[in-house]
Amino acid sequence: MSKKLKELKEKRAGLYAQIDSLRKETDGREMTAEEQQRWDTLFADYEKADKAVAAEEKFLDIQRRQAEEAYRQNNGGAAGAAAGKDTPEYRRAFADYLLNGAQGISPETRSLIEKRDSISGLSAGVLIPTDLASSIEIALKSYGGMFEAGQIITTSKGGDLTFPTVNDTAAKATIVAEYDQSTKRTPTFGSVTLKAFTYRTPIIPVSLELLQDSAFDLDALLSQLLSESFGRGVNEHLTTGSGTGQPRGIVTAATAIENGAAAGAITLDNIIDLIAGVDSAYAKTGKFMFNHKTLWALAKIKDTHGQYIWQENARVGQPGTIFGKGYVINDDVADIGAGNASVLFGDLSKYKIRLVKGFRVIRLNELLAEYLSIGLFGFARVDGTLIDAGTHPVVKLVHAS
């Protein structure tokens, strides 16, 4: 809704309030000449205001259609729009929603929005453009570590999600003589259940003056503020959560290797023991996980020939590796220290992150109204756990106490 249209509607509403007040005052009696003259004047003014509103709405509709047509011509015609690439349009709708609320959007704009799958919807006060949700996801990956390493599974509902497991690794074919009976074996079946814990960001107050600034990059603000606070809380639990009333973190679920590390250091042998601690089926795609302080401690380790084991940029365009294995930085993994688990290794994608319907943004209209501001907060329902059928796809290095 444009500023001019809003003013016109407010003027029309004010005239209606005066008409309604005069009607109530004179209800049951004949109007005086002065009251009748005022009544006629108000009705005439209301008709003019109503026509002005209709004219402005029509102009905005034409303006919108012209902008859509120009955008389609510049971005591959109707195919581009059908593919959900009309970014300026739904960003404009998102900003309009934040300024005026779901009820302040015109019926034409609402109808246009709800026909496009690039907007998640206007129900329950929730509205978020697809590309904003994507930018939040990218920010989570760069911030946390677990959203980069684990496998994200998005579900439409929040009921329990069960992963069956089976361990039949001990079974092997044998030579059986003719007419002899084959052996019988029952695999070990199990299951892991993912729930949906609700995480909410703190409420962010945003002034209406700031929102009305046409040069203001709204997407960048929300991506930065909401994703960082969301990432801090969720990543911590996905890393070290207890599994009781919160996700079971990858450090909690990982299996400690038999040979631990000294209380305050990591050696080359420790790294070799970690790689050897997982089955080769997991080691093929295995990666390390540690925090940025541990990274630089590992960078100082040398082999018996005096060569650094951390092969940073060994090949052009490739990330650094340790013994040819990649790594993920996660600052919620503990530092090197007594009793800490400072390094993980294995198939990190075996850690499953359950996300219900993705990240959503809620607009609060009245909470900060006295400050001429709106409140914004994000929420998502998340759980996570390591899927381990008994062969321990991820192991951890624990330091001596």
Quick: pLDDT tens for 99-110.
666 666 666 666
C-alpha to C-alpha distance for 141 and 129, rounded to whole angstroms: 19
CB 343 within 8 A of CB 329: no
C-alpha R_g of the chain: 31
Domain ranges of the chain: 1-25+44-64, 87-124, 128-162+190-401
Q: How confident is the model at residue 90 (pLDDT cuts 50, 70, 90)?
A: low
Question: For 189-201, what is each residue's pLDDT tens digit?
Answer: 778 889 999 999 8
Main-chain dihedrals φ then ψ at residue 193, nearest 5 degrees = -110, 130
Stretch 164-185: mean pLDDT, rounded? Answer: 72
Helix (H) or strand (E) holding 227: helix 218-240
Question: For 366-379, what is each residue's pLDDT tens digit?
Answer: 787 787 788 888 88
Question: For 251-305, what is each residue's pLDDT tens digit?
Answer: 999 999 999 999 999 998 999 999 999 999 999 999 999 999 998 898 888 878 8
Which stretches does DSSP call E strand in 76-196?
Answer: 151-155, 161-167, 188-194
| Of the candidates 212, 13, 9, the residue with the CA atom closest to the CA atom of residue 98 | 212
C-alpha to C-alpha distance for 360 and 288, rounded to whole angstroms: 31
Stretch 94-123: mean pLDDT, rounded? Answer: 57
The end-to-end CA distance of the chain, in Å, is 63
Main-chain dihedrals φ then ψ at residue 266, nearest 5 degrees = -125, 135
pTM: 0.65
| Of the candidates 149, 148, 151, the residue with the CA atom closest to the CA atom of residue 137 | 148
For a pLDDT cut of 90, what percent of the chain falls above it? Answer: 30
C-alpha to C-alpha distance for 283 and 369, rounded to whole angstroms: 56
Q: Half-sphere exposure of residue 73, counting CA atoms within 13 Å on the CB side?
A: 6
Sign of CA dihedral 347, 351, 352, 358: negative
Q: How confident is the model at residue 208 (pLDDT cuts 50, 70, 90)?
A: confident
Q: So what's the pLDDT on residue 324?
A: 85
Averaged pLDDT of the chain: 79
